[in-house]
Amino acid sequence: MATPSPGIFFVSIYEIFGCLLTGVHLDTYTVRTMTSLYFGKIFSFYRQKRRMPTHSEIAKLVGFKSRTAARKLAEKMISAGYLERDARGRLIPKQAYGEARVLGTVEAGWPSPAEEELIDTMSLDEFLIQNKEATYILKVKGNSMHDAGILEGDMVLVERGPQPKDGDIVIAEVDGEWTMKYFRKQGRSIFLEPANKQFKPIFPKEDLKVAAIVKAVIRKY
Amino acid sequence: MGNEPMAIFHFPRAILHIDGDAFFASCEQSRNPQYRGKPLITGKERGIVASMSYEAKALGITRAMRLLEAKKACPELIMLPSDYETYSLLSKRFYAIVKRYTPDVEEYSIDECFADLTGLRRPFRMPYIKIAEAIKRDLDTELGFTFSVGLGPNKVVAKIGSKWKKPSGLTAIPGNRIHKYIENLSVDKLWGIGPATTAFLAKQNIFTALQFARRQPEWIRHYFPRPIFDIWEELHGKYVIPIDTKPKESYESIQKMKTFSPASNDPAFVFSQLSKNIENATMKVRRYKLAAAEAVFFLRTQQFEDYGVEVRLSRPTAAPNDFIKMAEVVYPRLFRAGSWYRSTGVVLFNLVPDQSGQLDLFGASVEIQKMQKLYRAVDQMRAKFGKHTLYLGSSHYANKFAQHVGERGDTPERKSSLLRGESRRRHLGIPMFMGEVS
């Protein structure tokens, strides 16, 4: 299952508590402030006392009259993956995400109040590669794409398949060799343009064989 | 013989067979434009043709042909050492792309798979042939070379379809048209019919697949075992041979064979080659937590004659020492002075799960446990530092020298073009474009 969306989580807390308890219609902004207030209060309790609050303590903290309401809030947070219960039913914090968060660090697995907009994370692989099965790597020789910031020795991730658009950097097959250039399409004319004044554009005599499109450049130091 | 169809339904099941066209050679051609459109073979390190491009095929080069002959047939032939790392990366991508469309994929071999499309017309809102087209399009564009696809109501018919037009064909054979496709198909071209069956059928004046299919089921069942009858039924449009989607979990036998060059007539050197194979085979046996009690050792001469001998141990084992001791005993029977040998091999079979700690009558279990402990450590060390960091003294000659001296000792280009941060043993799991990129 995908990581729970924080937006939905906040609204559902609002639906259960906001409406039930106050009977007043609140706009989204207010809901967010309220829920982050709940979070903030439970969170600072945990930071101060180094333990999780009980249900009645949660009720007191967030201003609920009943412990049942507090328990429901806790259940909601458990199903969203922020908390869990130990063998005796007491609440314990839980790191919901296996990976590092984009926004700073989070103490003891808690979303900080500043982190209202929780962001799901991705690995560097996912970040660089869209279509895993169609992605290849190659090593750059020469400096014809120097001004595009692609230097000799760089590693380039390319994807086979998609139709190139004007301005894409492509790997094309010219005279039995790979060449990496800007793909230019102006009206009917198609040509390959280097990013270095010392090189000339290539106007293909026959049809141009574009093998792949450059998706990322990797340079290790 | 009438012209009535084999079956009335088109696709009661929709089975796809997909076959990579000249897979290894195509992997090489698709990543290096220098090779495109030229006769090319892989298998240089083995001394025989493992795979040839269509250009090489057109010049009469066939599989398992010796390199010297191949070069004679075509002097400008490009010969490359096999780069199994890249081939298997591309093979995994091949299965992954097919699995985008259906989870029921049988990974039949490195360059072939079966896929079950039954019931997918509605979710994809396309007829089966269009789904097959879409799969083929994805494969061709994303892997950079072509695949041949056959669609049929079962595996046997799908396989006829994928062979029908090669390379880059797509042939759909619905149940009611099977008879058209097998009319002139020689019976030995059917999947699962070997030379013995073909010879027997020829005596009965059966030469085409249609003649075979027109025989009465009682006759087939009387003369042939179940697998041949299954083929007969599938030619009648039934779905009999199931798609096996389970990944390989165990082996019936494990074989290791290695060729070396130049050929040798030195008994000690040839024995160390055999010893190395035994070490590698037992390593694989241990990896699958198995043990073997039977083995066949064999030597192959320069004239491609094989000499083998079978041995049986008192209990299943996964330690190479046990097999090497046996090999030492039988080796004089195997090795003939004056013969020149080019490869050695070992097959371990009757594999059983390794039951460690089982006592035996003569109290050898202490020894066995010691051995197991030792090889656990050996395997860990090899995993960490490389396969050949630690080996038995009997394998020394084989490990001391490269497997092939001279031209055949070439290594794949990918192995010598490492990226920054890669080591000889750990590469990035992404296939690489080769040749100059300027």
Q: What is the ipTM of this complex?
A: 0.76
For CATH 3.30.1490.100, the residue range(s) in chain B are 253-400
Pair B17, B24: CB distance under 8 Å = no
Q: Measure B73 CA to nearest chain A CA, in Å.
A: 24
Mean pLDDT along residues B216-226: 94
What DSSP designation does A4 have? P
- Give the residue among B50, B54, B23, B58 at the shortest CA–CA distance from B37: B54
Residue A177 contacts B, CB cutoff 8 Å: yes
Is residue A17 pLDDT above 70, yes or no? no
B297 φ, ψ to 5°? Answer: -100, 140
Alpha-helix runs per DSSP H in B262-364: 267-287, 320-334
Neighbours of A197 (CB within 10 A): 8
Task: Provide the pLDDT confidence category of residue A25 given band limits of 50, 70 and 90.
Answer: very low
Q: Which stretch of A68-82, A189-203, B404-418 has the lowest confidence by average pLDDT?
A: B404-418
Asked whether the beta carbons of residue B33 and residue A144 sit closer than 8 angstroms, the reply is no
Alpha-helix runs per DSSP H in chain A: 6-13, 28-49, 55-62, 67-79, 124-128
Q: Which stretch of A116-120, B277-281, B315-319 has the lowest confidence by average pLDDT?
A: A116-120
**CB-count burial class (<10 Å; 0-12, 13-18, 19+) for B181:** buried
Q: Measure A196 CA to nearest chain B CA, in Å.
A: 12
Question: What's at A44, amino acid-wise?
Answer: S
Is residue B47 pLDDT above 70, yes or no? yes
Out of B112, B234, B252, B436, the active site residue is: B112
Mean pLDDT along residues B278-295: 89
Of A140, A161, A176, which is closest to B33 when you measure between CB atoms? A176
Asked whether the beta carbons of residue A160 and residue B97 sit closer than 8 angstroms, the reply is no
Mean pLDDT along residues A15-29: 42
Q: What is the pLDDT of residue B23?
A: 96
Instruction: Record the pTM.
Output: 0.71
Structure tokens given for A48: 């101060």
Question: Does A94 participate in catalysis according to the annotation?
Answer: no
Task: Provide the pLDDT confidence category of residue B116 given band limits of 50, 70 and 90.
Answer: very high
Q: What is the pLDDT of residue A98?
A: 36
Neighbours of B421 (CB within 10 A): 10
Round to whole Å and give the CA distance between B22 and B40: 10
Task: Provide the pLDDT confidence category of residue A85 given band limits of 50, 70 and 90.
Answer: confident
Q: Measure A59 CA to nearest chain B CA, in Å.
A: 49
Q: Which stretch of A94-98, B86-90, B272-276, B350-354 has the lowest confidence by average pLDDT?
A: A94-98
DSSP assignments along A8-69, one per residue: HHHHHHIIIIIIIII-----HHHHHHHHHHHHHHHHHHHHHHSS---HHHHHHHHT-S-HHH
Is residue A136 pLDDT above 90, yes or no? yes
Q: Which stretch of A30-34, B176-180, B402-406 has the lowest confidence by average pLDDT?
A: A30-34
Interface test with A, best of B36, B135, B422, B437 (most A CBs within 10 A): B437
CATH of B15-171, one of 3.20.20.10, 3.30.70.270, 3.40.30.20, 3.90.1170.40: 3.30.70.270
Cα B73 from chain centre: 26
Domains and CATH numbers, chain A: 6-115 (1.10.10.10), 125-218 (2.10.109.10)
Q: What is the pLDDT of residue A20?
A: 40
Is the bond preceding residue B247 a cis peptide, omega within 30 degrees? no
Of all residues in chain A, what percent carry a pLDDT higher than 90?
Answer: 32
B250 vs B121, more confident: B121
Round to whole Å and give the CA distance between B110 and B21: 12
Mean pLDDT along residues B141-151: 97
Query: B42 - beta bridge partners?
Result: B51, B80
Radius of gyration of chain B (CA): 25
Q: What is the pLDDT of residue A13?
A: 42
Residues from B in contact with A at Cβ < 8 Å:
31, 33-34, 36, 93, 96-97, 138, 141-144, 417, 419-421, 428, 430-433, 435-438
Neighbours of B313 (CB within 10 A): 15
Asked whether the beta carbons of residue A138 and residue B433 sit closer than 8 angstroms, the reply is yes
Asked whether the beta carbons of residue A133 and residue B31 sit closer than 8 angstroms, the reply is no
Q: Are strands B105-109 and A155-160 parallel, antiparallel or unpaired?
A: unpaired
Q: Measure A124 CA to nearest chain B CA, in Å.
A: 13
Mean pLDDT along residues B70-81: 93
| Stated length of chain B | 438
**CB-count burial class (<10 Å; 0-12, 13-18, 19+) for A25:** exposed
Is residue A165 pLDDT above 60, yes or no? yes
- Give the residue among B406, B423, B395 at the shortest CA–CA distance from B45: B406
Out of A12, A44, A144, A200, the active site residue is: A144
Q: What is the pLDDT of residue B2?
A: 63
Is residue A106 pLDDT above 60, yes or no? no
Asked whether the beta carbons of residue B432 and residue A133 sit closer than 8 angstroms, the reply is no
Round to whole Å and give the CA distance between A43 and A50: 10
Q: What is the pLDDT of residue A30?
A: 45
Of the ranges A184-198, A203-217, B226-240, B257-271, which is most confident?
Answer: B226-240
Round to whole Å and give the CA distance between A169 and A184: 9
Q: Are strands A155-160 and A209-218 parallel, antiparallel or unpaired?
A: antiparallel
For CATH 3.30.70.270, the residue range(s) in chain B are 15-171
- Segment (H or E) for B23: helix B23-31
pLDDT in tens, B345-355: 999 988 888 76
Is residue A23 pLDDT above 50, yes or no? no
- Give the residue among B201, B227, B165, B232 at the shortest CA–CA distance from B7: B232
A132 vs A206, more confident: A132
B412 φ, ψ to 5°? Answer: -60, 150
Q: What is the pLDDT of residue A35?
A: 58
Residues of B in Cβ contact (< 8 Å) with A134: 141-143
* Tokens 């010392």 found at: A198
Pair B42, B111: CB distance under 8 Å = no
Pair B421, A218: CB distance under 8 Å = no
Task: Give every CB contact of residue B13 below 8 A, 6+ residues apart in sequence.
Answer: B116, B118, B153, B154, B239
Round to whole Å and give the CA distance between B149 and A90: 59
Residues of B in Cβ contact (< 8 Å) with A178: 33, 433, 435-438
Task: Provide the pLDDT confidence category of residue B356 given band limits of 50, 70 and 90.
Answer: low
Residues of A in Cβ contact (< 8 Å) with B85: none
pLDDT in tens, B246-273: 866 666 788 898 888 888 999 999 999 9
Q: What is the pLDDT of residue B254?
A: 87
Q: Say if domain B253-400 classifies as CATH 3.30.1490.100.
A: yes
Q: What is the pLDDT of residue B270?
A: 94
Mean pLDDT along residues B413-432: 83
Asked whether the beta carbons of residue B433 and residue A155 sit closer than 8 angstroms, the reply is no
Structure tokens given for B433: 């474009």
Is residue A69 pLDDT above 60, yes or no? yes
Structure tokens given for B101: 């469309």
Pair A133, B141: CB distance under 8 Å = no
Mean pLDDT along residues B304-309: 83
Q: Measure A220 CA to nearest chain B CA, in Å.
A: 7
